[in-house]
């Protein structure tokens, strides 16, 4: 089999070599590229004769898949797979496996980082002290005692619920599947509208699909408390961005923390997002820690090895 690692996996060279050596010892050829391709022709030139492709969140459309005659398996170094044409893979009987769970702790921690940044005005505090100013006008709010609403209680959402209870929050949740262990912790599952109305902070932790795209819109923000905060470390299009900006402008909600957007960063410097008040943004970095990347690589190559043994895991 020819295995192509389409882009860097952000791990130590020695760690990558260990995985490459293991596959080569099994008789497979491995090609890995040190840079990320930025156009379809370059992607095609790298993967056209590959049996297995490893990639992160690069778009992998039907246009590419249909021209890869040997392609049998894609090991995605990412949790979400909405950047891959799964229908085209199904037509070609290409197995797709993801790395679900590799960055759970990383995403959870940035979620709370955004929450604290908004509650305690951390960016403005940093700016003021550098400008020789005081805390005047920067009195913050505690997380303790707040109602945290979690939309989606998969692995990441569940961890957010558990940590929030440790901070002394009341936690309510909306999810397709209710978890008994969270309910035992005191998490209460409610309807979406009720969660929006009661929450001081709403945090999104669900995949992007046809059902969740645009889940939160102007009507949603109109139901929320004027003091409420929105946190999105899931997928940008789950939130209607224009409606969010309007909600912030009209002060329908108090603020938002976003790690994801309608497109992958970099964002245009003229983006209306940068004009919004009380908005903290990070460049889709929630998943990006050294520990998460090492864990991700282990899952990615284990996916390949298991598939080679006809016992695929993490198949989507």
Positions marked catalytic: 235, 264, 284
Measured CA to CA, the distance from residue 84 to residue 208 in angstroms comes to: 12
Measured CA to CA, the distance from residue 97 to residue 54 in angstroms comes to: 10
Residue 279 makes CB contacts below 8 A (sequence gap 6+) with 248, 255, 256, 257, 258, 273
Residue 84 phi/psi, 5° resolution?
-110, 135
Measured CA to CA, the distance from residue 265 to residue 267 in angstroms comes to: 5
3-class DSSP state for residue 73?
strand
- Among the listed residues 78, 84, 80, the one whose alpha carbon sits nearest the alpha carbon of residue 102: 78
């Amino acid at each position: 089999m020819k295995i192509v690692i389409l882009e860097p996996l952000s791990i130590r060279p020695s760690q990558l070599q260990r995985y490459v050596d293991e596959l080569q010892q099994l008789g497979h050829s491995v090609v890995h590229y040190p840079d990320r391709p930025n156009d379809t022709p370059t992607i095609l030139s790298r993967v056209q004769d590959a049996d297995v492709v490893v990639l992160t969140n690069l778009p992998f459309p039907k246009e590419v898949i249909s021209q890869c005659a040997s392609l049998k398996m894609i090991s995605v170094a990412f949790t979400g797979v909405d950047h891959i044409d799964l229908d085209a893979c199904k037509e070609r009987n290409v197995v797709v496996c993801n790395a679900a769970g590799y960055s759970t702790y990383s995403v959870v921690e940035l979620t709370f980082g955004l929450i604290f940044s908004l509650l305690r005005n951390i960016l403005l505090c940093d700016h003021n002290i550098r400008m020789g100013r005081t805390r005047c006008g920067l009195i913050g709010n505690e997380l303790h005692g707040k109602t945290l609403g979690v939309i989606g209680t998969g692995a990441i959402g569940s961890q957010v619920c558990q940590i929030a209870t440790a901070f002394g929050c009341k936690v309510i949740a909306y999810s397709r599947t209710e978890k008994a262990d969270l309910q035992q912790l005191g998490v209460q599952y409610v309807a979406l509208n009720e969660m929006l109305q009661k929450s001081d902070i709403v945090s999104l932790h669900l995949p992007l699909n046809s059902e969740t795209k645009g889940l939160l819109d102007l009507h949603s923000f109109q139901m929320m408390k004027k003091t409420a905060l929105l946190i999105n470390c899931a997928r940008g299009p789950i939130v209607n961005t224009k409606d969010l900006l309007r909600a912030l402008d009209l002060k329908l909600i108090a603020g938002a923390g976003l790690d994801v957007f309608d497109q992958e960063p970099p964002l245009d410097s003229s983006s209306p997002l940068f004009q919004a008040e009380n908005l903290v943004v990070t460049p889709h970095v929630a998943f990006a820690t050294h520990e998460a990347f090492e864990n991700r690589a282990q899952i990615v190559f284990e996916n390949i090895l298991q598939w080679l043994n006809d016992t695929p895991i993490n198949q989507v």
